[in-house]
Structure formats: structure tokens, C-alpha cells
């Protein structure tokens, strides 16, 4: 259900995404960037903004941001500089943020998102610019026992942050969420960022308004609202759905159009499921940008760009294609696997190699490994059952030791107990059924089920299915396929 | 001859030859400081214990024949704009009254490695903003030649300390003339090196694109000794120049035969004190007599130097000083309602804390410049002020580039007048800003300049002469000043206006 389908308007969405780069050290000093350390333990005079301290650019952080920009098909500026964005806040110890104003290091890119189920048309979202800046610290407001203390943690201060600004090319909340997923996947695949929203390494603001065709052919546009404070992609989608409806309601009530009021910022309240207007500043902020005199401009040569490009991995869009071709699996399968991230793809390829057959491996990945992973939570890197064990189980199924259903039980037991496959198989009393035993069992079943025999004889072969359940009760190790085949053969041989 | 009237070069020789010890020498200067500082107020803090400990360790090392740094045992005073781990660093501001830096400025580190003895931290205009040293939160500095007069600024403490024999060597910083102008008014020698020649790391920023640290001493030779120690590349300062440091002492003794010195006619227009003009012209004559040639050159945009400077420097300062907000360190409003200083409604308790902390912590000149700079960078004004100032700055730089195609150095006055009376300009900020008239150009162009005494007025006030040279021309600037000082004795004259 999209808003578009219900109402006579187009939803117009642009995103502003901040992504923390996965560098060892901060952008302008040597402090480490590990998340979750005790407050104010990863700081130095420079990121504390102490008097007399000076920034020095971390070229590796810069190269990593180049990688992100190249992945987003951006042009790379040969000359870029640093600007100061001046504002007062306690988590900004210098009183300014080092950022990029008029000469971002990259611009004019795009990223396409395709929905494998075809819920929306493939959408190419243009990227206006990607620039690099330093992150601010964190304010922690302690509201316990009426103390209302605010505490500042400056560990994050100076962490490299890429700001990605899109054109308003998205047309529904659903698209916005899908595009963000694609962006996240891309940045994770390229090792640019872990994109962990809980840890704040990816933050999204959304700009949204409605374009409403008028009877006279004019296109009315509602005032643009910037939504902040969304903590997950799901929140982004929900907030946009809410805001679309709210704007439609407001349009019907007031008919207010863009330009009739200053741009509004609304905060998303996830538990209440609403956006709320944030306090208006009397005048729009004036950040008094100017070139940072403590830093020198950065030049980027063709060779440097080529060097960064040569170390880039395969972006997900390309990987989907190559994975499907390499393992002869449907595009849908490749999509599901790639969307789970690089470690899962690695797991799959390892499994497929050992099984020798992509589709079987893909089925097991989707039906068993992924299902268990989702049930258990956690990451594939920590998944206790290795591809070798899964391949072992699949191999035994293929050999006819037991059927797929049994194989799944074994997989679950291996996961549960942490025991090797052999041990689990033995513990479950699973043993290959001897051909003679199978013959004897089938003969017994035929003797005991004259009605089924008659039905089969009468042409209803599917009636033989009734024998399989009975066979499994007599001996849980029998292979249903084999039972079926042999039973049919014996029945046909009856006079 | 008492120890305190000897030059650093003489003291170095005496120390090496065992005629004196660093402890003896340091004690003499500390005693001199103790006696004269109550009058002059050149020092904000005096580190007697630290200095004597360092002196003793140098003496011990020398006695053991250990190798020592080039400034071993020599006393030096450091402007209180440079961070020191062992002494408070206040920038002469109430804002940083209790600030103890956790690190040494790169220049201080180099001084320590050169085995210099740091006597203390010198007074200055608050955050290096001023030309008279009357803007210090800890009291003005008096000119040792006439204690009713200003020593100039902002490195007025360092200049006065050298002039009053409280130290043979001092470190200053120069953003628009803050080394050269007080050197001129106090009758000492001061060098503003090329931008980037000396690391700014640990220098509390006033205007980052203009600030430069430099040596101050009685003579060019001592400035060369000190520059030798403090100059050099620092990977911790992105604007630091990464070219080898020459030996500044090698060329000092070379004659000036063939040196081309430029003279700018506009320097001698209305406003230049006749006595100053006379001695500056005599200095040109002295150079001619020494084999140099004098050539008329033009700096067509020089008249825009002061306005340009007073847009760029406050703009950068408004941003550089934003960090002093009371939140993390420095002065914080204690929360008690006080004079509302014209402000009484606030957006939030946080904003009130910011406003009141800054209102209390900064002096009037600092506030004036923060407001100027904030205005110049504001939306709607940026292009007309800051951006235009940057364009004029380029023109001023081009003027120098073109002039230096014709001449090796440009000579002229440092200041339009000798030392002015304390309080004379304090109510007239524009008049005060014009004291930088002859010096701001070098900062805007990023080039070097040296100021040294070239005579005295009839009332016995020093007059300074300035030489400016292209980027990295420090060896030539020092050589030219040294050669002048070989034939004159202005730099050797001592004040009698204060008694020890």
C-alpha cells in the first residue's frame, strides 16, 4: 500500500545521509574511533579543540571517502578544500565543525535501486554531492532524579563522516527504504562503513513534500518538511508514510504551498508514530562558512582515483549478476543472498563449491541457514554451523542416506548441540536402510494395504503416498522416495 | 659588565668557556626580572624554580662534557600565547586564567631540546589583539625607555623584557606586526619569519592564516640563533613549510655589496613622524654607504592593507575564539546573576552560560574583533567583506611579488611614530589599528620582515627600521640587519629610565 495509490499526488522525497567511515583513526588527529569505549577516553588536544591544537588530515580517511563516492558514480573534484561551519554546541568543542561547503570532494553521482519483486519501477536516484566532514561528540542528557545533568562524550568528535545528499528523486516511502538498504549494502560491501544505525554510524534525514496536480493543469507543491530523528530504515519508511498523510491532510485543510512558510523541521517520534514540529528558530541558522585556514586544500590526481578504484570490491548490483551466473541460480536467489551482506555471500559460495551445485546450496541457504540465523539473531560470521557441515548433510541426502526432511532435522540438531554431523546422525539412530530390508518392508506394506494396492492398480498412483507414512513409522530411516518407487514397482508386478 | 647586559651570543661564549654558569646567569636575569617587573609588567608568570632546575642540569651536563643543545643554558622568555606544560598559558585573558595546557607548543619543545632555560611567560595584548599591550587582562606593559609610554603590541611583554635586560632572548608572535612593531618601539630586533617557517602548533590561534612565531632579541645575530632553533617543518601543522632550514649564522658576516633595497615613496607620506622619517632616510644612506643600492618601488595596494587585515584577522578570530564557551575549560560564569551587560534574555540556560561566560571572560578589544569578524562572515555580508578582503589580499601579495622582481628587500619605517603615551589611543580603535600600517603587508603576503633600531628621537625614544623580504629570505633579512648593526650601535644602547 503506497500513498500514491490512494491519493491524486506524487510524493517527492530526497535524503540526506551521514555515514561514519570505517577508519582506524579520526579525520584530523590520531585518536582511535572504536565505538563504545568509556566516555572521553579516545581524545587528544586536537579533537578536544584545546587552544593551540591543529588538525592534520588523515589521507586514508580521505581515500576511503573517495571509494564511497566512486561507488556512488560521483565525479571526483581534482581540488577540494575544508571549510569551517560555525555554531555553538557543547558537543562541538571548537565551536565549529570542519566540513566542506562550496567545493565538495565529489558530486553528481547516482545509485539505482531495483525491487526484485517489482513492487516499484527501478529507480535511479541522483546524488547531488558527497562531502567529508568531522563528526561532533555526543550529548547525554541525564534526566534522573531531577538532576537534569548533561554530560558530553567527545570520543566520537572528529570521526570521519561522509554526507550524501540526493536529489528529490524518490517517489514513495517504500522506495526510500529500499534505496537506503541498497546504499547501506553498497557501503558495507566496499568496506566504507559498517552502517550500524544503532551505533550512529549511519544517520538519515528526509525531505518530503507532495506534488498535487490541479484542475487547471498547475502543479501545487506542499511546503517541504525535513524529518529528523529516525533510528532505523523502518522508521524512515513509517515517518514518510505518516508525513505524506499529514501533508495531504494539511493541504486539504489549508492549501498551503511551498514558499508560504520557512522550511519546517519535524522530529519523528517512533513510539507515538508521529512527526512533531521542532521549535522554530527566529531566523535560519547562519553557519558563517569560510575556508579553514589551518588546513591546506586537497588535490586528487587521476592516478589517485585510479588507485582507489583498483582496490574497490564488487558493488552489490554487479555481484548479484555475477553470483547468478557463476552458480546458475535465479536472479531472485542472488538478490536474497547478496542483500544479506558480503559474509553471507562468502558462506554461500563456500557451500556451493563444496556441494558442487549452486541451486541446492542456495535453497539450503534460504530455507535453513537464513531461517535459523533469523530465528537466533546474530551475524553469519558467528553462525556455529560451518559450510563444511552443511555440505556434508546435503551430500548424504543426495547419496540417499536420508531424505531432505531428515537432513533438515539433522542440521537443526547440529546447530542445537554443536556436535559433529556423524555424531548427530548416529545419535538419531539414522542408518542407511539395507536393500533387502527395504524390499521386506515394502512387501509387508503391500500385504497390509489391499485398498491402496487396488487404487494404484486402478491407476491412482498417488495413493502410494499413503504407504510412505506407514513405512516411516516402521523404520524412520527409510528414504520416502525409494519406498515409493519400490512399492510401485512391486504393485505393478502383482498379477 | 653585568651578566644581564650581555648579548646571548656573548653569554653563550662565556658559558662555553666556563666564565659563568647557567645558574649564575639565570639567577642574574631572574633577579633583574624581580626588580623591574613590578614597574614594567613584562612577565605574567616567572618560573624561577623551573628555570634554575634547567640551568643546573645544563651546568651539570656541561661539567660532565655531555653534548648540549645550541641554546644550552641561555635564558629565554616565551610569550604567553604559546602552550607550556609546566606553566599556565593565559593569552593575557581572564578566559584562560587557570588554563594549564597538557602539551608544549612545538616551538617550546624545540627550545627545551635546545637546552634553553625558559624564564617565564610574557605579557601581551589579550589573545594577541592589540598594538600597545594595553589590552592585557593582567595589566598593561610599560615601555622601558619611558614608562609612561606603551611598548607596542601585541608582543609588548617580550619586547619590553628584552629592552629592560630581563632576558636576552624572547619569543613573540606576529599576526599584523606584533613582533616588529613592539621591537621598533622598544629599540630591539624582532623577526617575523615567512608564514609556515615556524610551526604554529601550540600557538593559541588569533588569525591562523596570518599568525607566525618569531625571535626577539637585541641583535639580528641573536635572532638568527633563536630562529635556528625554532624554525623547521612540523608534520603536526598542515601549513608548515617542508623545506630544509638553512644555517642562519653562515651568511651574517657577508658584505652587502650589490644588495638592492626598495624604498616605497608612499611610506613617507603624511602621518609619518618627522624624526622617524629622518632616521629611516639615514638608514637608507647607511645601507648605500655599505654597498647596497636603493631603488624606488611601489606597493600600489598597500593602502588597503589595514582594512583588509581588519576583515581577515577578526573573521578568523571570531571562529578561532568560539571554543572559549565555558563548556569544557576556561572561564565559566558561576551562575550568580550579575550586571546584565546589556543582555538579559536568553534562549536557554545553556545560551545564558555561553553569553555570560564570554561576556565576563573576554576583554573589550577581543569582543570588538569577534563581532567584526562575525559580521564580516555573515550571510549577505560575506561577499562584500570577507571574500573581497581575500581578493585584495591576493593583490597585496602580487604587489610584493612584483616588487621583489626589482629588489632583494624593501626597507622603510616600522611604525609612523615612536612609542606613544599609554592611554593615548585606547579610546580610538581606528587610530590604534593604524599602528599596523607598515607591518600588515608582510602578514597578508606571508613573507618575512625584520625590525631593528635605527636611531632615537631627541627625547630618547627608539626608532625602528623594517626590512621585508620574499618568502624564505630570512638569511638575507638577518644578514642585512646584522651588517647594519656592525656599523651602528643603536641596538646596544640601554635604557636608563628604569632602575634595577
User: Of A286 and A279, which is predicted with more confidence?
Assistant: A286
B147 within 8 A of B497, measured Cβ to Cβ:
yes
Residue B17 to residue A370: CA distance in whole angstroms: 83
B416 within 8 A of B131, measured Cβ to Cβ:
no
Selecting among B22, B132, B136, B154, the annotated active-site residue is: B154
Q: Report phi then psi at A392, rounded to 5.
A: -60, -50
Selecting from B103, B316, B377 the residue whose C-beta is nearest the C-beta of A293 gives B316
pLDDT of residue A262: 81
Q: How far apart are the first and last CA of chain B?
A: 14
Chain B residues within an 8 Å CB radius of A94: 322-323
Is there a contact between B323 and A49 if contact means CB atoms under 8 Å apart? yes
Is there a contact between A54 and B201 if contact means CB atoms under 8 Å apart? yes
As given in the structure block, the three cell numbers for residue B52 are 634554575
CB atoms within 10 A of CB B387: 14
Provide ipTM, 2 decimals. 0.95
Residue B233 to residue B248: CA distance in whole angstroms: 16
B440 touches chain A (CB under 8 A): no
For the residues B91-106, what does the mean pLDDT come to? Answer: 97
pLDDT of residue B269: 85
B239 within 8 A of B344, measured Cβ to Cβ:
no
Chain A residues within an 8 Å CB radius of B352: none
At residue A493 the predicted structure's pLDDT band, cuts being 50, 70 and 90, is confident
For the residues B133-144, what does the mean pLDDT come to? Answer: 98
pLDDT of residue A429: 72
From the list B32, B48, B34, B47, the residue with the least C-alpha distance to B164 is B32
Selecting among B54, B79, B221, B425, the annotated active-site residue is: B79
At residue A1 the predicted structure's pLDDT band, cuts being 50, 70 and 90, is very low
pLDDT at A284 over 70: no
pLDDT of residue A279: 67
Residue B19 to residue B416: CA distance in whole angstroms: 43
pLDDT at A146 over 60: no
Is there a contact between B105 and A52 if contact means CB atoms under 8 Å apart? yes
Q: How many structural domains compose chain B?
A: 1
**Would you give the DSSP letter of residue A110?**
E
At residue A468 the predicted structure's pLDDT band, cuts being 50, 70 and 90, is confident
A264 touches chain B (CB under 8 A): no
Give the DSSP letter string of A391-426: HHHHHHHHHTSS-HHHHHHHHHHHHHH---HHHHHH
**Those residues with Cβ within 8 angstroms of residue A491's Cβ, 6 or more apart along the chain or in another chain:** A446, A453, A456, A457, A464
**Those residues with Cβ within 8 angstroms of residue B63's Cβ, 6 or more apart along the chain or in another chain:** none
At residue A282 the predicted structure's pLDDT band, cuts being 50, 70 and 90, is very low
Residue B332 within any structural domain of the chain: no
Residue B225 within any structural domain of the chain: yes
Nearest-by-CA chain B residue for A290? B377
- Burial profile A136-175: b = 16 or more Cβ within 10 angstroms, e = fewer: bbeeeeeeeeeeeeeebbbbbbbbbbbbbbbebbbbbbbb
pLDDT of residue A438: 82
pLDDT of residue A38: 95
A377 touches chain B (CB under 8 A): no
A350 touches chain B (CB under 8 A): no
Selecting among B22, B136, B155, B178, the annotated active-site residue is: B178
Residue B301 to residue B400: CA distance in whole angstroms: 10
Name residues 76-95 of chain A within 8 A of B (Cβ): 84, 86, 88, 90, 93-95
pLDDT at B433 over 90: no
Selecting from B102, B203, B351 the residue whose C-beta is nearest the C-beta of A45 gives B102
Is there a contact between B203 and A48 if contact means CB atoms under 8 Å apart? no
3-state DSSP assignment of residue B72? coil
Kindly tell me the burial class for residue A422, based on how many C-beta atoms sit within 10 Å of its own C-beta (0-12, 13-18, 19 or more).
Answer: exposed
Residue A314 to residue A312: CA distance in whole angstroms: 7
**Those residues with Cβ within 8 angstroms of residue A121's Cβ, 6 or more apart along the chain or in another chain:** none
Kindly tell me the burial class for residue B366, based on how many C-beta atoms sit within 10 Å of its own C-beta (0-12, 13-18, 19 or more).
Answer: buried
pLDDT of residue A144: 62
Give residue-wise pLDDT tens across range B24-81.
Answer: 999 999 999 999 999 999 999 999 999 999 999 999 999 999 999 999 999 999 999 9
Selecting from B202, B315, B321 the residue whose C-beta is nearest the C-beta of A52 gives B202
Nearest-by-CA chain B residue for A96? B319
Lowest mean pLDDT among A278-287, B40-49, B448-457: A278-287
At residue A2 the predicted structure's pLDDT band, cuts being 50, 70 and 90, is very low
For the residues B210-221, what does the mean pLDDT come to? Answer: 98
Chain B residues within an 8 Å CB radius of A289: 377
CB atoms within 10 A of CB B462: 29
**Those residues with Cβ within 8 angstroms of residue A462's Cβ, 6 or more apart along the chain or in another chain:** none
B375 touches chain A (CB under 8 A): no
Is there a contact between B202 and A56 if contact means CB atoms under 8 Å apart? no
B338 classed as catalytic: no
Is there a contact between B323 and A51 if contact means CB atoms under 8 Å apart? yes
pLDDT of residue A6: 60
| Percent of chain A with pLDDT strictly greater than 90 | 65
**Those residues with Cβ within 8 angstroms of residue A108's Cβ, 6 or more apart along the chain or in another chain:** A74, A75, A126, A127, A128, A129
Is there a contact between B377 and A290 if contact means CB atoms under 8 Å apart? yes
pLDDT of residue A307: 95
For the residues A459-478, what does the mean pLDDT come to? Answer: 81
CB atoms within 10 A of CB A124: 13
In order of start, what are the domains of chain A with their CATH numbers?
3-305 (no CATH), 314-427 (no CATH), 435-493 (1.10.10)
B421 classed as catalytic: no
Chain B residues within an 8 Å CB radius of A90: 325, 327-328, 350
Chain A residues within an 8 Å CB radius of B203: 52
pLDDT of residue A280: 60
For cell 500385504, name the residue: A447
pTM of the model: 0.90
A54 within 8 A of A294, measured Cβ to Cβ:
yes
pLDDT of residue B294: 98
Q: Which whole-number Å values give the CA distances from B436 to A482, B62, B314, B416, in the listed order?
A: 102, 44, 14, 9
pLDDT of residue B279: 98
Adjacent-strand bridge partners of A299? A79
Residue B357 within any structural domain of the chain: no
User: Mean pLDDT over all residues of chain A?
Assistant: 90
pLDDT at B499 over 80: no
Q: Provide the total of helices (H) and of strands (E) in chain B, helices listed first.
A: 15, 11
As given in the structure block, the three cell numbers for residue A490 are 512391486
Is there a contact between B322 and A52 if contact means CB atoms under 8 Å apart? no
Q: How far off is chain A from B131, nearest CA to CA, in Å?
A: 22
CB atoms within 10 A of CB A429: 9
B323 within 8 A of B99, measured Cβ to Cβ:
no
Chain B residues within an 8 Å CB radius of A98: none
For the residues A199-228, what does the mean pLDDT come to? Answer: 94
For the residues A381-390, what does the mean pLDDT come to? Answer: 91
Residue A433 to residue A471: CA distance in whole angstroms: 12
Is there a contact between B322 and A293 if contact means CB atoms under 8 Å apart? no
Is there a contact between B319 and A86 if contact means CB atoms under 8 Å apart? yes
3-state DSSP assignment of residue A306? helix
B486 within 8 A of B221, measured Cβ to Cβ:
no
Give the DSSP letter string of B50-68: HHHHHHHHHHHHHHTT---
For the residues A371-385, what does the mean pLDDT come to? Answer: 88
Which one of B93, B318, B328, B385 would you mutate to disrupt binding with A, by most A Cβ within 10 Å of its Cβ?
Answer: B328
CA A441 to chain centre: 51
Nearest-by-CA chain A residue for B317? A293
Q: Which whole-number Å values give the CA distances from B150 to B42, B120, B158, B426, B491, in the listed order?
A: 12, 21, 13, 11, 19
Residue A109 to residue A128: CA distance in whole angstroms: 7
Kindly tell me the burial class for residue B340, based on how many C-beta atoms sit within 10 Å of its own C-beta (0-12, 13-18, 19 or more).
Answer: exposed
Q: How far off is chain B from A95, nearest CA to CA, in Å?
A: 5
Q: How far off is chain A from B322, nearest CA to CA, in Å?
A: 5
CB atoms within 10 A of CB A305: 16
The CATH number covering residue B157 comes to 3.90.1300.10
Is there a contact between A93 and B319 if contact means CB atoms under 8 Å apart? no
Residue B295 within any structural domain of the chain: no
Residue B304 within any structural domain of the chain: no
Residue B435 to residue B425: CA distance in whole angstroms: 10
Residue B337 within any structural domain of the chain: no
B178 classed as catalytic: yes
3-state DSSP assignment of residue B334? coil
Give the DSSP letter string of A163-176: EEEE-S-B-SHHHH
**Those residues with Cβ within 8 angstroms of residue B401's Cβ, 6 or more apart along the chain or in another chain:** B470
Residue B183 to residue B163: CA distance in whole angstroms: 9
- Residues of the domain holding B218: 3-258
Is there a contact between B238 and A293 if contact means CB atoms under 8 Å apart? no
Residue B47 to residue B87: CA distance in whole angstroms: 8
Residue B195 to residue B448: CA distance in whole angstroms: 8
B323 touches chain A (CB under 8 A): yes
Q: What pairing do the DSSP bridges indicate for beta strands A264-269 and A225-230?
A: parallel
Is there a contact between B235 and A54 if contact means CB atoms under 8 Å apart? no
Kindly tell me the burial class for residue A38, based on how many C-beta atoms sit within 10 Å of its own C-beta (0-12, 13-18, 19 or more).
Answer: exposed
Chain B residues within an 8 Å CB radius of A52: 82-83, 89, 101, 103, 105, 201-205
Residue B14 to residue A43: CA distance in whole angstroms: 46
Residue B435 within any structural domain of the chain: no
- For CA atoms B336, B337, B340, B343, the dihedral sign is positive
Q: Cis peptide before B493, with omega less than 30 degrees from 0?
A: no
User: Of A2 and B198, which is predicted with more confidence?
Assistant: B198
Q: What pairing do the DSSP bridges indicate for beta strands A274-277 and B117-122?
A: unpaired
Q: How far off is chain A from B19, nearest CA to CA, in Å?
A: 39
The long-range contacts involving A148-155, CB below 8 angstroms and separated by at least 24 positions, are: A150/A90, A151/A39, A152/A40, A152/A90, A152/A91, A152/B327, A152/B328, A153/A39, A153/A40, A153/A91, A154/A39, A154/A40, A154/A43, A154/A47, A154/A48, A154/A91, A154/A93, A155/A37, A155/A39, A155/A40, A155/A41, A155/A42, A155/A43
At residue A26 the predicted structure's pLDDT band, cuts being 50, 70 and 90, is very high
Name residues 290-309 of chain A within 8 A of B (Cβ): 290, 293-296
Residue A468 to residue A459: CA distance in whole angstroms: 18
Residue B116 within any structural domain of the chain: yes
Amino acid at each position: 500500500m503506497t500513498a500514491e495509490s490512494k491519493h491524486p499526488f506524487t510524493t517527492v522525497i530526497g535524503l540526506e545521509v551521514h555515514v561514519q567511515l570505517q577508519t582506524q583513526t579520526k579525520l584530523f588527529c590520531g585518536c582511535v574511533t572504536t565505538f563504545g569505549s568509556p566516555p572521553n577516553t579516545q581524545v587528544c588536544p586536537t579533537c578536544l579543540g584545546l587552544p593551540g591544537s591543529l588538525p592534520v588530515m588523515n589521507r586514508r580517511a580521505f581515500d576511503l571517502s573517495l571509494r564511497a563516492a566512486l561507488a556512488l558514480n560521483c565525479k571526483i573534484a581534482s581540488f577540494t578544500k575544508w571549510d569551517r561551519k560555525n555554531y555553538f554546541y557543547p558537543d562541538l568543542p571548537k565551536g565549529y565543525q570542519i566540513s566542506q561547503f562550496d567545493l565538495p570532494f565529489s558530486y553528481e553521482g547516482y545509485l539505482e535501486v531495483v525491487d526484485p519483486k517489482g513492487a516499484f519501477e527501478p529507480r535511479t536516484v541522483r546524488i547531488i554531492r558527497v562531502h567529508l566532514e568531522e563528526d561532533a561528540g555526543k550529548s547525554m542528557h541525564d534526566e534522573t532524579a531531577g538532576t537534569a545533568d548533561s554530560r558530553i562524550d567527545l570520543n566520537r568528535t572528529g570521526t570521519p563522516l561522509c554526507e550524501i545528499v540526493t536529489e528529490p528523486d524518490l517517489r514513495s516511502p517504500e522506495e526510500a527504504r529500499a534505496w537506503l538498504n541498497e546504499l547501506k549494502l553498497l557501503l558495507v560491501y566496499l568496506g566504507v562503513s559498517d552502517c550500524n544505525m544503532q551505533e550512529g554510524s549511519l544517520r538519515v534525514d528526509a525531505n518530503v513534500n507532495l506534488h498535487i496536480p490541479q484542475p487547471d493543469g498547475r502543479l501545487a507543491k506542499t511546503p517541504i518538511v525535513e524529518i529528523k530523528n529516525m533510528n532505523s530504515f523502518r522508521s524512515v519508511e513509517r515517518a514518510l508514510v505518516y508525513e505524506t498523510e499529514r501533508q495531504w491532510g494539511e493541504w486539504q485543510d489549508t492549501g498551503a504551498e511551498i514558499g508560504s512558510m520557512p522550511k519546517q523541521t519535524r522530529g519523528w517520534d517512533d513510539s507515538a508514530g508521529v512527526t512533531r514540529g521542532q521549535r522554530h528558530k527566529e531566523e535560519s541558522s547562519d553557519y558563517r562558512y569560510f575556508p579553514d585556514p589551518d588546513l591546506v586544500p586537497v588535490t586528487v590526481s587521476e592516478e589517485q582515483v585510479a588507485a582507489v578504484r583498483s582496490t574497490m570490491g564488487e558493488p552489490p548490483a554487479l555481484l548479484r549478476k555475477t553470483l547468478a551466473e557463476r552458480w546458475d541460480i535465479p536472479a531472485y536467489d542472488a538478490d536474497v543472498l547478496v542483500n544479506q551482506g558480503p559474509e553471507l555471500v562468502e558462506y554461500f559460495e563456500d557451500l556451493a563449491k563444496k556441494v558442487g551445485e549452486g541451486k541446492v546450496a542456495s535453497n539450503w541457504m534460504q530455507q535453513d541457514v537464513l531461517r535459523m540465523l533469523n530465528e537466533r539473531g546474530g551475524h553469519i560470521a558467528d553462525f556455529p554451523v560451518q559450510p563444511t557441515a552443511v555440505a556434508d548433510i546435503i551430500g548424504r541426502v543426495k547419496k540417499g542416506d536420508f531424505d531432505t526432511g531428515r537432513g533438515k532435522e539433522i542440521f537443526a540438531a547440529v546447530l542445537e548441540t554443536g556436535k559433529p554431523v556423524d555424531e548427530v546422525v548416529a545419535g538419531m539412530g539414522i542408518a542407511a536402510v539395507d536393500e533387502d530390508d527395504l524390499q521386506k518392508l515394502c512387501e509387508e506394506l503391500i500385504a497390509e494395504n489391499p485398498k491402496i494396492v487396488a487404487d494404484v492398480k486402478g491407476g491412482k498412483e498417488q495413493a502410494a503416498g499413503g504407504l510412505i507414512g506407514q513405512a516411516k513409522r516402521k523404520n524412520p530411516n527409510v528414504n520416502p522416495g525409494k519406498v515409493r518407487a519400490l512399492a510401485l514397482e512391486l504393485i505393478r508386478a502383482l498379477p | 659588565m653585568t651578566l644581564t647586559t650581555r648579548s646571548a651570543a656573548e653569554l653563550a661564549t662565556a658559558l662555553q668557556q666556563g666564565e659563568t654558569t647557567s645558574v649564575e646567569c639565570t639567577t642574574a636575569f631572574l633577579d633583574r626580572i624581580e626588580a623591574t617587573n613590578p614597574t614594567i609588567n613584562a612577565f605574567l608568570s616567572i618560573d624561577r624554580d623551573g628555570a634554575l632546575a634547567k640551568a643546573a642540569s645544563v651546568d651539570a651536563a656541561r661539567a660532565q662534557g655531555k653534548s648540549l643543545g645550541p641554546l644550552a643554558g641561555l635564558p629565554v622568555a616565551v610569550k604567553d600565547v604559546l602552550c607550556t606544560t609546566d606553566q599556565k598559558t593565559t593569552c593575557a585573558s581572564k578566559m584562560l586564567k587557570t588554563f594549564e595546557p597538557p602539551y608544549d607548543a612545538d616551538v617550546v619543545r624545540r627550545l627545551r631540546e635546545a637546552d634553553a632555560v625558559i624564564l617565564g611567560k610574557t605579557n601581551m595584548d589579550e589573545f594577541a589583539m592589540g598594538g600597545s599591550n594595553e589590552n592585557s587582562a593582567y595589566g598593561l606593559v610599560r615601555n622601558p625607555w619611558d614608562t609612561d609610554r606603551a611598548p607596542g603590541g601585541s608582543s609588548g611583554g617580550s619586547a619590553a623584557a628584552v629592552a629592560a635586560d630581563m632576558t636576552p632572548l624572547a619569543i613573540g608572535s606576529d599576526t599584523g606586526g606584533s613582533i616588529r612593531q613592539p621591537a621598533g618601539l622598544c629599540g630591539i630586533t624582532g623577526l617575523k619569519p615567512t608564514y609556515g617557517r615556524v610551526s604554529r602548533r601550540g600557538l593559541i590561534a588569533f588569525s591562523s592564516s596570518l599568525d607566525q612565531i618569531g625571535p626577539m632579541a637585541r641583535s639580528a645575530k641573536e635572532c638568527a640563533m633563536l630562529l635556528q632553533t625554532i624554525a623547521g617543518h612540523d608534520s603536526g601543522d598542515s601549513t608548515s613549510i617542508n623545506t630544509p632550514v638553512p644555517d642562519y649564522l653562515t651568511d651574517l658576516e657577508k658584505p652587502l655589496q650589490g644588495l638592492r633595497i626598495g624604498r616605497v615613496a608612499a611610506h613617507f607620506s603624511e602621518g609619518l613622524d618627522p624624526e622617524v622619517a629622518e632616521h629611516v632616510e639615514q638608514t637608507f644612506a647607511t645601507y648605500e654607504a655599505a654597498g647596497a643600492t636603493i631603488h624606488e618601488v611601489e606597493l600600489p595596494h598597500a593602502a588597503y592593507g589595514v582594512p583588509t587585515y581588519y576583515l581577515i584577522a577578526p573573521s578568523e578570530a571570531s571562529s578561532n575564539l568560539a571554543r572559549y564557551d565555558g563548556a569544557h575549560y576556561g572561564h565559566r560564569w558561576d551562575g550568580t546573576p550579575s550586571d546584565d551587560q546589556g543582555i538579559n534574555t536568553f534562549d536557554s540556560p545553556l545560551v545564558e552560560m555561553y553569553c555570560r561566560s564570554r561576556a565576563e571572560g573576554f576583554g573589550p578589544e577581543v569582543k570588538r574583533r569577534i563581532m567584526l569578524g562575525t559580521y564580516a562572515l555573515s550571510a549577505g555580508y560575506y561577499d562584500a567583506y570577507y571574500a573581497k578582503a581575500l581578493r585584495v589580499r591576493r593583490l597585496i601579495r602580487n604587489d610584493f611579488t612584483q616588487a621583489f622582481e626589482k629588489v632583494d628587500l624593501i626597507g622603510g619605517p616600522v611604525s609612523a611614530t615612536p612609542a606613544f603615551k599609554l592611554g593615548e589611543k585606547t579610546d580610538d580603535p581606528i587610530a590604534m589599528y593604524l599602528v599596523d600600517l607598515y607591518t600588515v603587508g608582510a602578514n597578508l603576503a606571508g613573507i618575512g620582515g625584520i625590525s631593528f633600531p635605527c636611531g632615537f628621537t631627541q627625547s630618547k625614544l627608539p626608532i625602528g627600521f623594517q626590512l621585508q623580504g620574499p618568502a624564505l629570505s630570512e638569511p638575507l633579512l638577518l644578514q642585512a640587519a646584522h651588517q647594519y648593526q656592525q656599523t651602528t650601535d643603536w641596538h646596544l644602547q640601554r635604557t636608563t629610565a628604569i632602575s634595577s
